Structures are given as structure tokens and as C-alpha cells.
Chain A
Amino acid sequence: MLTIMRFTFREAFNRKILLVSVIVALVFLALYWTGIFYAVRDIERSQNSILASVIYSQFLLLGLYFGGFIVSFLAILSSAGLISGEVESGAIQAVATKPVSRTGIVLGRFFGQGLFLAFYAAVFFAAIYAVVRTLTGMDLAGSWRAMAVFSLQPVVLLSASLLSSTLTTTIAGGSVVFMLYTLSVIGGFIEQIGWMINNLPLKNAGIISSLIMPVDSLYRKNVHILLKPQADDPLASFQQMGPFGSFAEPSMWMMVYTLAYVAALLMLAVYAFNKKDLG
């Protein structure tokens, strides 16, 4: 398993999608830095501390939200063919005939790719954090916890991609995971609207989408770790955090569920790959 894990980690650095993701991330961070820089300059001139607390929070969330997008896209596009790509090209035939168990192959792929994605996400989070901290001077508590939760987002998508990769083709699997991710994002928004207007069906729709793909709930958790919204009133929270805020903190059980979700999908991937004919 360790050989496959090391191989997968090295392979990740050789994918073209990584280069594209790094370029997109750099462009994003440059724009992000520029936006915050000029906003801070104007706000400091007006010396409006209330406006500063609202705008700075919203900038932080904007960074985390769209940073999460970039990390998620990388996770889906780089993981969709982890198994299926090898099966389609035939490269798996020389690997799976070696004295390595199929379980070891799947776990090695997961941990190698998971380590790479978590590392990429952590660096991205650190960059967003550094831009916000340097330019606004915001004091953010729980940044290490938030970094860990942010890094878990691509790992959740990886587990779904890996399972789909053992079951179907790269394009079909990647499309399914992308749709699940979209469902999670839209479900997250619906849930927030549900909290804002206190509508139970909308809240439940969001919860169900989080159970199907718990990526958005990780983002919402991060909002609470970093900003600790004070207002009990959702509308006041909306004013504080803007459209990327979170009006209800996902519970600790949701975090446990997310970890169990990853483990369950990984076990299913191992099971499916052990049953699969490779040729």
C-alpha cells in the first residue's frame, strides 16, 4: 500500500490539472488581494469600524467559498480517473498482477491522493488566511481547526470519486461526483434560506443534500469556527456574513457523519475493486 501511496502522491504533481489549478489559484489570490487591499484602504480612510467588521468577514468568507470551489474542482478532476483511468489505459494490468492486494491498491490510491489534496487545500487556506490577516489585521480564532476542516473538503470528494472510479468510466464517474458536489452547494444555499425565513421543508432539503454529499456542511462549519456569529437573529447574521454565511452551525455529529461517510465510501470502493474484472 505504501508503494502505491507514494506513487500516487508523486503522480499528482505530474498531472496537468495541477498546473491549471495552481495558475487559477494564483490568479484568484491576486484578485482577492487586490480587492481586499483597496477595500481596506477606503474603510480605513472612513474610520467606520462597523463597516470594517462586516466587510472584512464577508471578504474572508468569499475567499473560503471560492477557494473551496477551486480545491473541489481539482479534487474531482484529478481523482475521477484514479482507478478507471488506469483500467481504461490498461496500465492497471501490470500493477494488479504484482504481489499487492487490490485492497492495498485502493487504499494506496486514496491515501496518496488524499494527502496531496489535503496539502493543496491547506496551502490554499493558509494563503487566504495570510491575505486577510495581513491586510485587515483580523484576529481569527481556531485557524488550525478551520484549516483541517477546509482540507477535509477535497478528501470527501475524493472518496466519492474513488468509488465512482471503481464502478464506472472516468467521464461518467467524474460527472456524477460533479453533480453531487453541485447538489451539495445548492442544498447548502436552500438550507440557509430555510433558516433565514424559518421554513422547515427548506431546512430539511438542505440537511438531506448534506447527507448525500457533506461538503457544504464542512464549509458552514468553518464559518462558525472562524467567525463565531454572535447574532441569534438570522437576518442579523446575514448582515454580518452576507450570502456566504451560515446561520446554523453543523453539529459535531455532522462531522462524525462526514468521517463515517468517507470511510463507508472507501470500503465500498475496496469491495467493488476486489470484485472487478480488470481486462
Chain B
Amino acid sequence: MNLAVETDELTKIYGDKVGCERICLSVPEGQIFGFLGPNGAGKSTLVKMLVGLVRPTSGSARLLGKPLGSLEARKKIGFLPENFSYHEWMTGRQLLEFHAALYGMSRESRKRRIPLVMDLAGMSAAAGRKVRTYSKGMKQRLGIAVSMLSDPDLLFLDEPTSALDPLGRREVREILLQLKERGKTIFLNSHLLSEVEMICDQVAFIKGGRIIAQGSTVEMQAGSVVVELQVENVSDALMEEIKGISKIIGTGRNTVRAAVGSREEIPRLAEAVVRGGGRLYRLAHEKLSLEEIFVSLLREEDPDC
């Protein structure tokens, strides 16, 4: 299995502040990889190190088999920065021409790729307008077009749908899935966990600059089943009973959400409720969402969270 991204103890320290610490990641080629974490966790720092904007303090990394920062690797990489700021005095088409020239793309290749990516990003109608007249969403679409311009093998997208409406988000998801079908690797930084859940093959969670969990989304979700109980007469003793065989995710008025290791533990949980004196009116189970895994991981790290 070829790796698109491979990092070994990659670390960035800003003075006495940790940006990222000992990051070890392996992203296989042809996958969509979700990189998740709360604000300030170090997601963007890692991406900036990988695309060569920020120098690592220590550690190493390889992109598409080439060492970090190599111009060879950069030819095959596309990047959408989080703030998607571009030169506003140019038109959308001129901006793409400029970036195509930076990639060293041939005239024929530019003629083919520029209209194609403009069309894919839904920007064809605005291609002749100055970037300064674009809305925030249009600028983000333009950024997506720029990132796909050279038909890169590896695409880094930092919050690619933050300025888009639900329809725009869906379009971007479809584009990413099409790219994956063509064997491209996508490294996705996002806060939108439901979105990540829909398209990512693998995810990693980062907190305080350190990876706290990583694996395939299927594996992560298979580890737990969420059970929602509608119970009356909930006492402290009952809660202790429930905690004994599950992990409580949340509580509300007469409702308890808890995670158990497998479906086989659901009857045991029901028995524990009845044994503890609770009156059980409803029991429903579902797969653990990425968001719940995320929150539960954060709580494990920091119980006050």
C-alpha cells in the first residue's frame, strides 16, 4: 500500500507554545482522510507544515514518497487554505492563469484545465469578474478551483465548505467523491463532522497538538453502539448501575444516552435499569456518530470539557 502522507514525530513549537507534537500519521493513497479537532488543536499547523508554509521544529514527513518541502512533491499537490485569500485585482480567470503558470503547466494543459475546474467549482459565469467583486462563498469556490487546477494527486483542503450554503457543501462533497474515484488522495481539515462522516475513509482526532485517536471511520463506529433510554425514577444508584456496563454520553429529562461495546450488551443494560429501580419506557439503539466519538474522546482527555 502506497502512502500519500507519512509523518514521523512531526513537531512544531512556537516559543513555549506547542503547535503540533510528535504527529505520526499514515494516509494511504486514494483515500479521503479527515483531520478533526477543536479550535486551536493544531489542525491547520499540521497542514501548513505538510504543504511547506511552516517549518517543522523536529520530525520528518513524506508526501507521495518525496521529502517534505520538495518542489517535486509540490507539483502534485493542491491546497485550499482556510482563509482562501487571493489577489483581488485579478479576474478569476487571470488568477487561474497565474497559478497555472506557477505550476509550470503547458499552454494546452491550461486551456483544458482552467475551464474544466471553473466549471467543476461552479464559477464559469464569474470567470471574467474581478476577485474583489466575489462573495465569500464565490472566493471559496475559486479556491477549490485553484486547488484542483493541476489535477493534483494529493489535495489538502482546510475547511473547504466553511463559507458555502448546504447546496454548495453537497456539490463539494460530490466533487471530492469523484476525485477519490479517480484515485486522488484528499486530506480534509474540517469542523463539520457530519460531512466528514459522510465521505471520509479514515479520520484522526487531534487535541492540544497531539493525536488522540486515529483509524478508519468504520472501525471507530464499530467499537460502540449508542443506546437511548427513556426512563423514569432515575436515582444515583441507577446511574451507577448504568455506568457499570456502559459509558454515559449525555443525560436529559428522563433520557439517558449511553454507549455500549456491542449490540449483545443492550439486554444487559435494560436489565440493569430495571434492577436499579428505573421504569423503562423506551430503548432505541443506533451507530455512534463521529460527533459523539469526538465529544467522548475530548471528555476522556478533559473531563471538564
Contact = CB atoms under 8 A, between A and B. Distances in A.
A279 B81 CA distance: 10
A277 B55 contact: yes
B128 interface: no
B67 interface: no
10 closest residue pairs by CB, A with B: A90-B85, A98-B102, A93-B81, A14-B89, A99-B74, A90-B83, A3-B101, A278-B53, A279-B48, A97-B51
A144 B181 CA distance: 63
Contacts of A98: 74, 99, 102-103
A91 B53 CA distance: 12
Contacts of B83: 90, 93
Contact of B143 (A6, A94, A99, A279): A94
B218 interface: no
17 contacts: A4-B102, A11-B89, A91-B87, A93-B81, A94-B81, A94-B84, A94-B86, A97-B53, A97-B79, A98-B74, A98-B99, A99-B74, A99-B104, A100-B71, A278-B48, A278-B54, A279-B54
A119 to B, nearest CB: 19
A93 B79 contact: yes
Given A96-B53, A277-B48, 17 more contacts: A14-B89, A89-B85, A91-B85, A91-B86, A91-B87, A93-B79, A95-B102, A97-B52, A97-B53, A98-B99, A99-B74, A99-B75, A100-B102, A277-B54, A278-B54, A279-B54, A279-B81
A101 interface: yes
Contacts of B53: 93, 96-97, 277-279
A42 B51 CA distance: 69
A90 B54 CA distance: 13
Q: Which of A94, A95, A275 has the most CB of B within 10 A?
A: A94
Interface residues of B, number: 28
B55 A90 contact: no
Interface in B149-204: none
Interface in B86-101: 86-87, 89, 98-99, 101
Interface string B200-217: 000000000000000000
A100 B74 CA distance: 9
Contacts of A275: 55
A216 to B, nearest CB: 34
Contacts of B81: 90, 93-94, 279
Interface string B44-61: 100010011111000000
B227 interface: no
A7 interface: yes
Contacts of A6: 101
Contacts of B54: 277-279
Interface in A96-121: 96-101
Interface of A: 3-4, 6-7, 11, 14, 89-91, 93-101, 275, 277-279
A279 B51 CA distance: 11
Q: Which of A4, A89, A100, A277 has the most CB of B within 10 A?
A: A277
B68 interface: no
B4 interface: no
A107 to B, nearest CB: 14
Nearest to B52: A97
B41 interface: no
Nearest to A277: B54
Given A91-B85, A97-B79, A7 B98 contact: yes
A193 B289 CA distance: 80
B42 to A, nearest CB: 12
B146 interface: yes
Contacts of B146: 94
Nearest to A274: B55
B77 interface: yes
B87 A11 contact: yes
A93 B85 contact: yes
Interface in B25-66: 44, 48, 51-55
A277 to B, nearest CB: 5
Contacts of B55: 275, 277
Contacts of B104: 99
Contacts of B89: 11, 14
B77 A97 contact: yes
Nearest to B156: A97
A91 B72 CA distance: 22
Nearest to B71: A99
A10 to B, nearest CB: 9
A88 to B, nearest CB: 9
A99 B103 contact: yes
Contacts of B84: 90, 94
A245 B54 CA distance: 50
A84 B98 CA distance: 20
Contacts of A95: 99, 102
B99 A94 contact: yes
A105 to B, nearest CB: 10
B74 A279 contact: no
A95 to B, nearest CB: 7
A95 B90 CA distance: 14
B79 A3 contact: no
A96 B71 CA distance: 11
B10 to A, nearest CB: 14
B149 to A, nearest CB: 10
